[in-house]
């Protein structure tokens, strides 16, 4: 099952249209190539609708947003919706400034977003909870499972909250993924790239929860494997890209940790 999605991705090489931030553009493009997808960054209002139409997934990331870019994201998102192309929203830094929060809410109001992927602080602020964030980073401990369910219901969409433990939910079914490595927090753009990787999996798997949980687990195991070869951020980043490209499938099957919970239960 998991093997099939990755093989499908590598066979289909889906086109992923990213409107993303200036920090992570190169890393995102390289990471998408590594997993077998085809990245394109296209930001101009004049072209985003056309690009979204021919893409297999659209990723909207507000990391270094401007008003013009938010307008372009809405054009791209609406165009993707018309064409039946899945849309991922990464609400980078929501809660840090009112512009980020209001822009993300505007996108959610105007675009039918397939899944929101963010850290707990971003999702909490998006859902209206005033939780302290530090720029693009999370602070403190939040109850990710309950928060994800609340946000999924509020926005009537799928939510992936990532961190030490990752949670994916549509408000009813909940999954927890416990793969990953702390070094991922020492390399900028690992959350952003994960949002794009989820987009790539959505391009080959219609079931959103399956696509997102598989993507997150694959990504986490690749990080675990990379961390066995390097324990510092610079070499880890390079090894991680290599592992995304060449993850040993037997290791993935053996190390993948996805568990299912149900709505209403406090425990998985």
Ligand X SMILES: Nc1ncnc2c1ncn2[C@@H]1O[C@H](COP(=O)(O)OP(=O)(O)O)[C@@H](O)[C@H]1O
Ligand Y SMILES: Cc1ncsc1CCOP(=O)(O)O
Residues at the binding site for substrate are 41, 189
Question: φ and ψ at 105, to 5 degrees?
Answer: -65, -35
Binding of residue 191 to Mg ion (CB under 5 A): yes
Q: How far is it, in rounded angstroms, from Cα 12 to Cα 202?
A: 12
Q: Which is nearer to Mg ion, 196 or 211 (CB)?
A: 196
CB of 121 to ligand X, least distance (A): 8
The helix, strand and coil proportions of the chain, stated in percent and rounded to the nearest 5, come to 55, 20, 30
What 8-state DSSP symbol labels residue 94? B
Given 15, 85, 96, 184, the residue binding ligand X (CB under 6 A): 184
Binding of residue 96 to Mg ion (CB under 5 A): no
Residue nearest to ligand Y (CB): 63
The option from ligand X, ligand Y, Mg ion, none interacting with 163 (CB < 5 to 8 A, set by class) reads ligand X
In this structure, are residues 96 and 106 in contact, taking their beta carbons and an 8 Å threshold?
Answer: no
Binding of residue 63 to ligand X (CB under 6 A): no
The option from Mg ion, ligand X, ligand Y, none interacting with 162 (CB < 5 to 8 A, set by class) reads ligand X
The option from ligand X, Mg ion, ligand Y, none interacting with 24 (CB < 5 to 8 A, set by class) reads ligand Y
Question: What separation in angstroms does the CA of 253 have from each of 15, 20, 73, 214, 220?
Answer: 26, 31, 36, 11, 12
Q: How far is it, in rounded angstroms, from Cα 17 to Cα 200?
A: 10
* Footprint of Mg ion on 63-92 (CB under 5 A): 92
What per-residue string of b and e applies to 236-257 under the rule 16 or more CB within 10 Å gives b? bbebbbebbeebeeeebeebbe
The option from ligand X, ligand Y, Mg ion, none interacting with 181 (CB < 5 to 8 A, set by class) reads ligand X
CB of 187 to ligand X, least distance (A): 9
Interface residues toward ligand Y, by CB under 6 A:
21, 23-24, 63-64, 92, 136, 188-192
Q: Residues interacting with Mg ion, by CB under 5 A? A: 92, 191
């Amino acid at each position: 099952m998991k093997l099939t999605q990755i093989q499908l991705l590598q066979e289909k090489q889906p086109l992923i249209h990213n409107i993303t931030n200036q920090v992570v553009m190169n890393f995102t493009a390289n990471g998408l190539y590594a997993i077998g997808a085809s990245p394109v960054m296209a930001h101009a209002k004049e072209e985003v609708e056309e690009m979204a139409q021919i893409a297999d997934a659209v990723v909207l990331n507000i990391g270094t947003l401007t008003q013009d870019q938010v307008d372009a994201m809405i054009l791209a998102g609406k165009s993707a919706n018309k064409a039946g192309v899945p849309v991922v929203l990464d609400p980078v830094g929501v809660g840090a400034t009112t512009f980020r929060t209001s822009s993300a809410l505007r996108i959610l109001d105007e675009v039918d977003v397939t899944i929101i992927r963010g850290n707990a602080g971003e999702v909490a602020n998006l859902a209206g909870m005033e939780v302290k964030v530090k720029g693009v980073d999370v602070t403190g401990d939040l109850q990710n499972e309950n928060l994800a369910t609340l946000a999924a219901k509020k926005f009537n969409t799928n939510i992936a909250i990532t961190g030490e433990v990752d949670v994916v939910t549509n408000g009813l079914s909940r999954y927890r993924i416990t793969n990953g490595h702390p070094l991922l927090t020492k390399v900028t753009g690992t959350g952003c790239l994960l949002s794009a990787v989820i987009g790539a999996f959505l391009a080959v798997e219609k079931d959103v929860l399956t696509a997102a949980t598989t993507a997150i687990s694959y990504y986490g195991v690749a990080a675990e494997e990379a961390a066995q070869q390097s324990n510092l951020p610079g070499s880890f980043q390079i090894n991680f890209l290599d592992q995304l490209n060449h993850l040993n499938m037997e290791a993935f099957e053996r190390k993948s940790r996805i568990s299912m919970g149900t709505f209403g239960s406090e425990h998985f």
